[in-house]
Amino acid sequence: MAVVINKVGVIGSGQMGNGIAHVAALAGLDVVLNDVSDDRLKSAMATINGNLSRQVVKKIITDDARKQALNRIATSDTMEGLADCDLVIETAVEKEDVKRKIFHDVCAVLKPEAIVASNTSSISITRLAASTDRPERFIGIHFMNPVPLMELVELIRGIATDDTTFEAAKEFVSRLGKQIAVSEDFPAFIVNRILLPMINEAIYTLYEGVGNVEAIDAAMKLGAHHPMGPLELADFIGLDTCLSIMQVLHEGLADSKYRPCPLLVKYVEAGWLGRKTQRGFYDYRGEKPVPTR
């Protein structure tokens, strides 16, 4: 039976989760934003309000639209708060065991016809779906970061995803005003399968001393018209996430060209994960970012 999506649950209130809640609420959907702590939820709501306010200043939306969107978002620190959602999107860290536990817990409270989706950037949708009680109502809905600005959403069907789920997901994404790219369920899908090896290659270029951080980023910005250099972009994504995706590619496709650069591994071991920890390929603790090597 066809599903009409009016109420959306978002699990995880980090960068991706609050972005998805933002665009869904702005599109007129009721949203429940879920996270383990009240503090995280408060911080997420402040971020959403800040991002909506920025859109008001830029005259993309009205202040009235901002207020209405905020009123449509409820928060919950328990899975029970998601019980009456028509669609739930998980945006947790890129670790399969964490995601599986979330799906196990949320499926226990959802109505049988509810659709469950993952915003994973690289993990097998088929495998995640198999760990739930509703593989035919499970789909990959992969948003790009930052969600309010990026036009694309990748839709990924698992082997068991049925047509009604796929159609409902397509309708949902269109309602948000986003463009759809349909990807087959192979490691890292389309965008990250192309983007992450490029970032990894940029790190190898640094590791082998071909160029320094500033030269590599300038080369791609000015020589290929990329809006951000690959090392700057890696810091923005999070070096731990970059490493996770490269590991999924390397394990899933068993090709040496996807081997994560040892320097990327070293930075992650140091806890230098990019912007979120104030240090990655750049140091963000001062007035302006300074390369760390």
Domain extents in the chain = 7-183, 191-291
| Residue 163 CB contacts under 8 Å (≥ 6 apart), including other chains | none
| Residue 126 CB contacts under 8 Å (≥ 6 apart), including other chains | 135, 158, 159, 160, 185
Q: 191-291, what's its fold? A: N-(1-d-carboxylethyl)-l-norvaline Dehydrogenase; domain 2 (1.10.1040)
Instruction: Return the percent helix, strand and coil in the chain, to nearest 5.
Output: 50, 15, 35
- Of 13, 34, 121, 124, which one is the catalytic site residue? 121
Establish whether 121 is a catalytic residue. Answer: yes
What's the pLDDT score for residue 82? 98
Report, at the CATH architecture level, how domain 7-183 is classified.
3-Layer(aba) Sandwich (3.40)
Low-confidence stretches of the chain (pLDDT < 50) are none
What's the pLDDT score for residue 3? 78
Establish whether 154 is a catalytic residue. Answer: yes
* pTM across the whole model: 0.93
- 89 bridge partner residues: 10, 117
Establish whether 118 is a catalytic residue. Answer: no
Establish whether 226 is a catalytic residue. Answer: no
- The answer to whether the bond into 146 is cis (omega within 30° of 0) is yes
